[in-house]
């Protein structure tokens, strides 16, 4: 629900910006600038802005419900261009109906009942309503495109790139999880490359909702591995970084019939986790992204490698174990002080299990 409220607020804010710009373009260009501010205003701009904002809120809420209706598993797995086209067509139809309803209701409450027919005719044929519709379609396509691009970068990343937050490298304390498919080589040999790739696609689609639920950020997809990160406070809050792993496993188990029927195997993942200070910076000119640099990531990856050695689904570092609040929901067992590959100093590793 929190995610849906955010979507509604974003849509309303975007449409209010678009609505106010429309009022400015529509009315401020009609009159000479000097005459407009010296003489009596021929158009009551405060009323126009009020009407524009009311309509913008209405359209933002209406199109948010269209988004919710389209948020099905099948639709989200379509191609980028299919999603943009389908949403644009759906938005256009919805807006056409919505604009007609606005003018009809305006005629019903402002004009006399015998003027309703005129209001409908005006809506269907006037240059103003046609211009309003075309403008609305263009804005809806733009908003839809921005939201889909934001998804492609990862929630919040597009804003960080625009704001230049990491143009100059910064140091942050973060939690990292390296999440890898168990027995990936065996599964790949069994399924073949194409079917194995479709399995990975399905797994990565299924992780999306869980990522949003527990405030994680997807840093990278590397083959059959996902690298996730949390700001330290968000990862610790309500045990988000721990709950993410077990909820993702539960989701795959709930969909075991689907995976067994389609691939003959149910995927399971193993994870290694660590936390600490990393340097964050924008990198690249083409395919620009936000990158994290530091030994914290290398250690998390090496910890994940130990899952097979100790036959555990998830292992965490001593550093993370110290940061996470104690909870009776999880059992943390010390594996030992391990010399990880490429490191000289031993690292304390704990297994993590649900109680």
How does pLDDT run across 53-97, given as a tens digit for each residue? Answer: 888 888 888 888 888 888 777 777 777 778 878 888 888 888 778
CA dihedral 226, 227, 230, 232 (to 10 degrees): 140
Greater confidence (156 vs 238) lies with 238
Domain with CATH 3.30.70.1230 in the chain: 157-354
Q: How far is CA 92 from CA 1, 7, 23, 58, 99, in A?
A: 26, 19, 20, 15, 10
Greater confidence (21 vs 84) lies with 21
Global model pTM greater than 0.75: no
What would the mean pLDDT of 148-166 be, rounded to a whole number?
69
Judged against a pLDDT cut of 70, whether residue 167 lies above it is answered with: yes
> Which pLDDT value is given to residue 39?
47
**Has domain 157-354 been given CATH number 3.30.70.1230?**
yes
Greater confidence (278 vs 157) lies with 278
> Which pLDDT value is given to residue 106?
66
Q: What is the overall mean pLDDT for the chain? A: 83
Work out whether strand 217-222 and strand 225-231 pair parallel, antiparallel, or are unpaired.
antiparallel
Contact status, residue 191 vs residue 199, Cβ threshold 8 Å: yes
267-295: burial string, b at 16+ Cβ within 10 Å, e else: bebbbbbbbbebebebeeeeeeebbbebe
Percentage, residues of the chain above pLDDT 70: 83
Which DSSP string corresponds to 94-156?
HHHHHHHHHHHHHHHHTS-GGGHHHHHHHHHH-HHHHHHHHHHHHHHHHHHHHHHHHHHH-TT
């Amino acid at each position: 629900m929190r995610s849906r409220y955010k979507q509604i607020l974003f849509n309303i804010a975007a449409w209010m910006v678009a609505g106010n710009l429309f009022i400015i373009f529509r009315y401020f260009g009609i009159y000479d600038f000097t005459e407009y501010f010296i003489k009596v205003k021929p158009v009551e701009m405060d009323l126009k802005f009020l009407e524009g904002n009311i309509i913008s809120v209405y359209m933002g809420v209406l199109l948010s419900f269209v988004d919710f209706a389209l948020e099905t598993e099948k639709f989200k797995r379509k191609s980028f261009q299919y999603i943009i086209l389908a949403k644009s067509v759906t938005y256009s139809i919805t807006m056409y109906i919505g604009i007609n309803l606005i003018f009809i209701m305006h005629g019903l409450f402002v004009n006399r009942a015998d003027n309703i027919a005129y209001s409908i005719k005006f809506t269907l044929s006037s240059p103003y309503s046609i211009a309003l519709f075309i403008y609305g379609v263009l804005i809806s396509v733009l908003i839809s495109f921005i939201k889909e691009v934001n998804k492609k970068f990862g929630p919040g990343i597009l804003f960080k790139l625009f704001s230049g937050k990491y143009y100059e490298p910064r140091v942050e304390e973060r939690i990292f999880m390296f999440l890898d498919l168990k027995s990936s080589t065996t599964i790949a040999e069994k399924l073949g490359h194409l079917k194995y790739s479709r399995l990975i696609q399905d797994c990565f689609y299924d992780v999306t909702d869980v990522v949003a639920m527990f405030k994680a950020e997807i840093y990278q997809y590397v083959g059959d591995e996902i690298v996730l990160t949390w700001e330290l406070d968000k990862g610790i809050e309500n045990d988000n970084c721990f709950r993410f792993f077990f909820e993702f496993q539960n989701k795959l188990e709930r969909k075991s019939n689907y995976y067994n029927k389609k691939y003959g195997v149910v995927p399971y993942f193993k994870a290694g986790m660590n936390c600490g200070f990393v340097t964050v910076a924008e990198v690249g000119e083409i395919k620009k992204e936000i990158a994290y640099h530091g030994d914290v990531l290398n250690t998390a990856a090496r910890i994940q490698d130990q899952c097979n050695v100790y036959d555990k689904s998830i292992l965490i570092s001593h550093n993370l174990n110290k940061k996470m609040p104690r909870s009776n929901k999880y059992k943390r067992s010390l594996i030992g002080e391990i010399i990880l590959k490429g490191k000289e100093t031993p690292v304390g590793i704990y297994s993590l299990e649900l109680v």
